[in-house]
Amino acid sequence: MTTDRERIPSLDDPDVLVQTPATIYDAIPPLTPRTEREAEFYQLEDGEMFLNLGPQHPSTHGVLRVVLKIDGEKVVDLDPVLGYLHRGVEKICEYGDWHHAISNCDPLEYVASMFSEALPVLTAEKLLGLAVPRRADYIRVLAWELNRVASHALFIGWLALDLGGITPILYGFAERDEIMEMLAALTGQKLLFNYLRIGGVNGDLNHDFMSRLGDWMSRAGKQVDSQATLLNENEIFVNRTKGLGVLDQATALRFGMSGPPLRATGAPYDVRRAHPYSVYPELEFDVPTRTDGDSYGRYLLHIEEIKQSLRIIDQVLHQMPDGPVMAKLPRLIRVPPGRAFAALESPRGQYASYAISDGSDQPFRFRIHDPSYFNLQAIGDLTRGHLLADIIAILASLDPVMGGIDK
């Protein structure tokens, strides 16, 4: 009697025809270096090997694939491979009208989508020369700062998680979930809000939102403090972040970086102050900077920024004016011909867009500048010569979001 095991056809059996299904990969020619840099990278010295990190690696914050050239545990060089999440948002925006662009830009920054959806709004308003009602502006700032706190709380948790600490992310998610529920009460959606409109916001503050906000404000920042207590002087955390991934100011500027990675090197570049938009000039807040420029500095900076955001939220709630939340506009907006560049400070840095309008209701060209894309570029310079495990920590400290990077 034959067992099941014996009935399994063997590859050595000449009767078994092994066929590889034709896949899309058959179309890809064998790897020949296309550029000088690629030729240099894919050349192995003695004792070196390639290692693929991602695209399904959980600590790459999405679908980032990094080809590592390693010598033992030491990273000699790396080559990030992008495009696994590429949807062609810029092209899609050219085929819909300006209102479509808002919801198309939403998933770019899926951790803080209140910022990415503001891009077509701010750009179109600039082209239209439109003044937004003051109440709408204040509501926007409120929503932005709440979302910034949520995003930063998650960042702190992720950074600790990538270093092997589970607890801080539970605090981070608790904080974020509370804010997301709050924004869901305001906007109707919990992740991709689609709340901002050209000329204002979609709906006024409501009772559910305000009561949740009041409840949260009474103990705001406590969860962040708990995270900070867990991490600030944690020996393992400090050892694995302090002095690692050090970036100097000149390099950060040459890489076009922005946001916390740039401010951690001492450059006080925050679009809210460097090129004020909305009602930020009327609000009091500081732009925290540090001079160490390492992963630990970037982490401390995020905590400082949460405190500043809470300061802004407090002022906004006290100064909130009455009035309409939408400017009077026709439903189909024809944007006058011209070009405009608008930028705003997202939790990851400067989000910007450059739009060309041909006078129709669709953008002729809509360029999206994502801060993570430029921040991630420095990963090669930051990690060369470091240990493999430190790459994960340094990557997490740059806080990339692949939705925006891959567009």
Partner 1 sequence: MLRQLDDRLSEHLVVPAEVMDDTIELITWPASLPALMRTVREDGDLRFELLADMCGVDTGVTMQVVYHLWSPLSSDWLRVIADGLSRDDPRVPSVTFLWPGAEWAEREAYDMFGIEFEGNRDLRRIYMPPDYLGFPLRKDFAMPDDASRGPGEGIRHMETPFAPGDVRRDPVIRTSPGAGARIGPDGERLVIAASGSVDKDALDSGVIVEGALDSGRGPA
Q: What is the 3-state secondary structure (H, E, C) of the chain?
A: CCCHHHHCCCCCCCCCCCCCCCCHHHHCCCCCCCCHHHHHHCCCCCCEEEEEECCCCHHHCCCCEEEEEEECCEEEEEEEECCCCCCCHHHHHHHCCHHHHHHHHHHHHCCCHHHHCHHHHHHHHHHHCCCCCHHHHHHHHHHHHHHHHHHHHHHHHHHHHHCCCCHHHHHHHHHHHHHHHHHHHHHCCCCCCCCEECCEECCCCCHHHHHHHHHHHCCCCHHHHHHHHHHCCCHHHHHHHCCCCCCCHHHHHHCCCCCHHHHCCCCCCCHHHHCCCCCHHHCCCCCCCCCCCCHHHHHHHHHHHHHHHHHHHHHHHHHCCCCCCECCCCCCCCCCCEEEEEEEEECCEEEEEEEEECCCCCEEEEEEECHHHHHHCCHHHHHCCCEHHHHHHHHHHHCCCHHHHHC
Chain residues 28-57 in contact with partner 1, contact rule CB under 8 A:
28-29, 34-38
Minimum CB distance to partner 1 smaller for 40 or for 215:
40
Report in angstroms how near the CB of residue 196 gets to partner 1 at its nearest. Answer: 20
Contact status, residue 268 vs residue 294, Cβ threshold 8 Å: no
Among 190, 219, 222, 365, binds partner 1 (CB under 8 A): 365
- Asked if 89 interacts with partner 1 (CB under 8 A), we say no
Minimum CB distance to partner 1 smaller for 325 or for 395:
395
- Asked if 367 interacts with partner 1 (CB under 8 A), we say yes
Minimum CB distance to partner 1 smaller for 72 or for 95:
95
- Asked if 255 interacts with partner 1 (CB under 8 A), we say yes
The rounded Cα 72 to chain-centroid distance in angstroms is 32
Which range touches partner 1 (CB under 8 A), out of 46-54, 103-111, 196-204, 347-355? 347-355
Among 247, 343, 391, 395, binds partner 1 (CB under 8 A): 343
Chain residues 110-139 in contact with partner 1, contact rule CB under 8 A:
126
Contact status, residue 348 vs residue 114, Cβ threshold 8 Å: no
- Asked if 282 interacts with partner 1 (CB under 8 A), we say no
The rounded Cα 96 to chain-centroid distance in angstroms is 24
Report in angstroms how near the CB of residue 80 gets to partner 1 at its nearest. Answer: 9
- Asked if 348 interacts with partner 1 (CB under 8 A), we say no
- Asked if 225 interacts with partner 1 (CB under 8 A), we say no
Minimum CB distance to partner 1 smaller for 240 or for 263:
263
As a whole number of angstroms, the distance between CA 71 and CA 48 comes to 5
Among 52, 339, 385, 389, binds partner 1 (CB under 8 A): 339
Among 48, 71, 97, 181, binds partner 1 (CB under 8 A): 97
Among 146, 298, 373, 392, binds partner 1 (CB under 8 A): 373
- Asked if 338 interacts with partner 1 (CB under 8 A), we say yes
Minimum CB distance to partner 1 smaller for 157 or for 349:
349
- Asked if 318 interacts with partner 1 (CB under 8 A), we say no
- Asked if 258 interacts with partner 1 (CB under 8 A), we say yes
Among 128, 143, 303, 340, binds partner 1 (CB under 8 A): 340
The rounded Cα 324 to chain-centroid distance in angstroms is 31
Among 358, 384, 385, 389, binds partner 1 (CB under 8 A): 358
- Asked if 384 interacts with partner 1 (CB under 8 A), we say no
Strand 74-81 to 65-71 pairing: antiparallel
Which range touches partner 1 (CB under 8 A), out of 80-88, 182-190, 218-226, 312-320? 80-88
As a whole number of angstroms, the distance between CA 404 and CA 373 comes to 7
Report in angstroms how near the CB of residue 371 gets to partner 1 at its nearest. Answer: 10
Report in angstroms how near the CB of residue 302 gets to partner 1 at its nearest. Answer: 21
- Asked if 155 interacts with partner 1 (CB under 8 A), we say no
Among 59, 67, 76, 94, binds partner 1 (CB under 8 A): 94
Nearest C-alpha neighbor of 390 from the set 51, 74, 112, 25:
74
- Asked if 254 interacts with partner 1 (CB under 8 A), we say yes
- Asked if 27 interacts with partner 1 (CB under 8 A), we say yes
Contact status, residue 270 vs residue 351, Cβ threshold 8 Å: no
Q: Which residues bind partner 1 (CB under 8 A)?
A: 27-29, 34-38, 82-83, 86, 88, 90-91, 94-97, 100, 126, 253-258, 269, 274-276, 337-341, 343, 350, 352, 354, 356-359, 361-362, 364-365, 367, 369, 373-374, 377-378, 406-407
